Amino acid sequence: MNKLQRDVLYGEIPEKSILPTNSIFTIAPYKFGGLYVFDVEEWGTIKEAFVGGATEYLEIISGNADKMIAAFSDKWFPDSHVIFKLDEEVVSGTFYWSEEFQHKLWLCNYTTNYWDISPEKIYVSVKPIN
């Protein structure tokens, strides 16, 4: 449970503010211990790891960059070049498939910080940081 979810549970933040209202979200993945991880300090998230094929995908699309900016949405946006389609939902997360990269990856339930339910498609744009 992240900080925002705890705050809602204990009544410190109104229920309607659980999910951000952005349509395009950004995170800044970076390499740590051989995996890509990311931080969302305002939610109390530090070094949330990309596993289940997600680190391998980020290595491919970023050219194995140490740091990057990743923008993502459940709707198409300019510069989004990868579409992941929902493949299978499991208790602990959702598997997505990229036809472009012939790659399957798993995203944990952390995505519920962005969407109520697992979106049918996720559009992604990744820019390496030098």
Please tell me whether residue 48 adopts helix, strand or coil conformation.
strand
13 falls within a domain: no
How many domains is the chain partitioned into structurally?
Answer: 1
Give the model confidence (pLDDT) of 81-111 as tens digits: 788 999 999 989 999 999 988 999 999 988 8
Rg (CA), the chain: 15
Residues 34-66 pLDDT 10s: 999 999 988 889 999 999 999 999 999 899 999
User: Which pTM was predicted?
Assistant: 0.79
Would 81 be classed as within a structural domain? Answer: yes
Token pair listed for 22? 């952005």
Question: How many angstroms separate the CA atoms of 43 and 15, rounded?
Answer: 15
Structure tokens at 113: 């910080």
Q: Is residue 16 part of a domain?
A: no
